[in-house]
Structure 1
Amino acid sequence: MTEYPQRDVFFVSNSVDELGGVTSWSHQMARLFTERGHRVHVIGITPAEVVQRLGEVPYPMTTLYDGQPPRPGRARAASMREQAARLTALFRTARPGAVVIVTQVWAMEWVKQADTTGLTVIGMSHESFAYCKKTSRFQRVLRHYKGVDRMLSLTREDADLWIGQGMNNASFMPNPLPFMPEVPSPRTENVVVSVGRLHDQKGIDMLLDTWAEAAPRHPGWRLRIYGSGEDEEILKKQCTALGLDDVVEWRGSTSDVPGALRGGSVFVLSSRGEGFPLAVMEAMATGLPCAAFDCAPGVREIIRDGEDGLLAALGNTGELARRLDALMSDKELRDRMGEAARVNIQRYRTGEIVRHWEELFAFLER
């Protein structure tokens, strides 16, 4: 096995402890790199509005602003120069061969103003090309990532689409498996589990419409939703209007995702857009078959349709209801797909992904 040099690795994100998958990914990778002997520093631009509980971390964290930066204008420009100088000072502490990984394009606006001479700079997009293209982030990715050493998406399919936009530095890196529990779900509870923010992107409104169609055919089954967010009140009103209050459980955020998943027999993903969804990986590692909207290349790369889960066309709630119906109706199918999911997802085990990162660092240093 090739031994790679130990490096200084900076992760720069919008916030160091923001609730969401990018933060979870950043700290998982930071821990993995630390365990491999790399010296890691996690940097955020602003404090998070909704905080993710992190516990003790074995590396330093820095947040540049005490609050939100000034509105665009002279004050904003002056504050950006000041905070970019702080970034420059942090980067200058690094040993030769250091790497800066910018996980979100907004954070890159500060990194671009800092002095990164002698550093390898990698910019990341943690969402699919198609979803990004619908947002203001798309033009910023094209503008701010074009000159970095590597722009990373999460799948080869998305990387090819970015290359088609003239991003010749584009490549891809899948997410690592967040955990591999020793004890999988027994799949004995009549529960379908959803885990995600209560936000438009996650499509919980479409999930409720789906459940309104599927639930009447399966008395005794419940939909258990884990997550919090700005859409909570309107979603609960929708749930009541659909007559689902007796068959939907709102569990809020959880710090025990493996435990939440072990309590279910099927996992459902109803997102409008994703990158390489950690929740699906976690569910499969726990032995749950997944029914999901085919909303991103990452989803259809993780889930092998008909083998370890079932996919439905994005936004087709009737089709997603039929996929759930198939899994809820047939324990043998649930068990077969759940066991296949637990085996297949191990291709993303952490050792493999870290090795790919170290290979990339070495390649970009040449």
Structure 2
Amino acid sequence: MTQREIFFVANEVNELGGVGRWQAQMARLFVERGHRVRIIGIAPPELAMDLGDDPPFETLTLYDRRPPGRRRPRVPFGRFDPSLRRREADMHAAAERLSRLFLAAPSGAVIIVTQVWAMEWVALADTAGHPVIGMSHESFGASRRSSRFARVQRYYQDVDRLLVLTQEDADLWVAQGLNNVGFMPNPLPVTPGAPSPRTEKVVASIGRLSHAKGVDLLLDVWAEAAPRQPGWILRIYGAGEHESLLRQQCTELGLDDSVEWAGQTGDVTAALGRSSVFVQSSRGEGFPLVLLEAMACGVPCAAFDCSPGVREIVSDGEDGLLARHGNTAELARQLVRLMSDENLRDTMGDKARQNVRRFAPDVITRRWEELFDFLER
């Protein structure tokens, strides 16, 4: 195995969320395989994730604060708008720092750009001699609904490989004219020694309290499901900008007696070990780590079929249950099926724990190393 220097270039070094967790995990997995890893962030995160006291990889952030976004020049300055000229100068200075790091790296180094915003700086840097892998950690549909769609087409068209999360998403990008697309699933974040006993009447939700995660939809789901299964609790783990609005919605729906707000957790495995069902109500996902974690803990999942990544992870009717995207009544019925049937929970939970092993860290890490070898040839 060739030992390499691997650069991750991301929006942030330690962003709180799925991309940040994936990045830190992959960095540790590569270090364990003998590679040297550096994570370079463009700007400090708004909400930071704790990387521990002594992470085994180096980190660097290019800006002290988040740089302003691109905008049209102000009239009457046009392209001579002083604020735009300052931004361009700052971008080139930051890109020059990247160039120096890349040029100092030995032969065989690899540059992995985890988000397309960060690619704007890498595109200005000198990457000569090193393969560049661009990534999109969201579904094709989610990109299509955002400004990132045009940026992926612009900034990733000439990278050595654009990696998305599923074959289905890769095919959709190929249909847009990109001929450098592959796919790479996320690795299993945890491998717990024992499954959840599934003895507590608890449905768990874990994720940021934001619009994208659909906790408002989940409360509507719970308003339908809870009266049909008295004694069950919905335990919501997470924090975020919508917490006060969601708590108000919970009260207005009369759910305060059956909903627990557990706050942000640093131990997802322990939270899942105290649960018998996991529910995900996101409006959009890429390849959700928490679904992998729930399945690894033997906790059967009910989720909206909101992206190819979700249906790649969960086999509907075999190791979990899916509902049509946004259909709260259908998700409520799927939840009730799991809540009301202990045998179904055990059967699906055991099957989930078995099936999710196809995303084991060593399996995914070897796929990455095979890609590095291929791009070096």
What TM-score bracket applies, with the shorter chain setting the length?
over 0.9
1:343 to 2:362 alignment: no
Aligned partner of 2:258 in structure 1 is 247
Taking the aligned partners of 1:206 and 1:47, their CA distance within structure 2 comes to 31
Match of 1:310 in 2: 321
Q: Return the match for 1:295 from 306, 313, 324.
A: 306
State the partner residue of 1:95.
Answer: 106
Candidates 241, 246, 256, aligned match of 1:235 = 246
Q: Which residue of 2 aligns with 1:23?
A: 20
SS at structure 2 position matched to 1:43: strand
Partner residue in 2 for 1:321: 332
Per-residue displacement from partner, 1:167-199 (whole Å, max 9, x unpaired)? 110110000000110021000000000111111
Match of 2:141 in 1: 130
1:184 aligns with 2:182: no
1:65 pairs with 2:29: no
Deviation at 1:53, TM superposition (A): 1.3
- TM-superposed CA distance for 1:361, in Å, is 0.6
- Give the aligned residue type for 1:306: G
- DSSP-derived class of the 1:171 partner: strand
Return the alpha-carbon distance in structure 2 between the equivalents of residues 214 and 70 of structure 1.
45
Shift of 1:70: 4.1
Please tell me the root mean square deviation across aligned C-alpha atoms, in Å: 0.8
Using the TM superposition, give the Cα deviation of residue 71 of structure 1 relative to its aligned residue in structure 2, in angstroms.
Answer: 5.2
Measured in 2, the distance between the counterparts of 1:188 and 1:289 equals: 13
Alignment-derived partner of residue 42 in structure 1: 39
Measure, in 2, the Cα distance between the counterparts of 1:23 and 1:102: 13
Q: Determine the structure 1 residue equivalent to 2:372.
A: 361
Distance 1:213 1:145 in 2: 44
User: Once the two structures are superposed, what CA deviation does each residue of 1:76-119 show, in whole Å capped at 9, x if it has no partner?
Assistant: 11100000011111112211011100010000001111100001
Unaligned runs of 5+ in 1: none
Q: 1:131 offset after TM fit, Å?
A: 1.1
Q: Find the aligned partners of 2:275 and 2:69 in 1 and give their Cα distance.
A: 45
Which of residues 128, 137, 148 is equivalent to 2:159?
148
Does the 8 Å contact 1:105/1:144 carry over to 2?
yes
State TM-score, norm by structure 1: 0.98
Contact 1:70 1:79 in 2 (8 A): no
Change (3 A) 1:201 1:71: closer
Unpaired runs of at least 5, structure 2: 71-83
Aligned pairs for 1:147-226 within 5 A: 147-226=158-237
Q: Which runs of 4+ in 1 moved over 4 A?
A: none
Q: Which letter maps to 1:66?
A: D
CA distance in 2, matches of 1:65, 1:296: 33
How many residues are matched? 363
SS at match of 2:321: strand
Q: Secondary structure at the match of 1:211?
A: helix
Instruction: Say if 1:183 and 1:286, in contact at 8 Å, map to a contact too.
Output: yes
Identity of aligned residues (%): 64
Q: Output the TM-score relative to the length of structure 2.
A: 0.95
Aligned residue type for 2:138: E
**Residue among 122, 125, 128 paired with 1:111:** 122
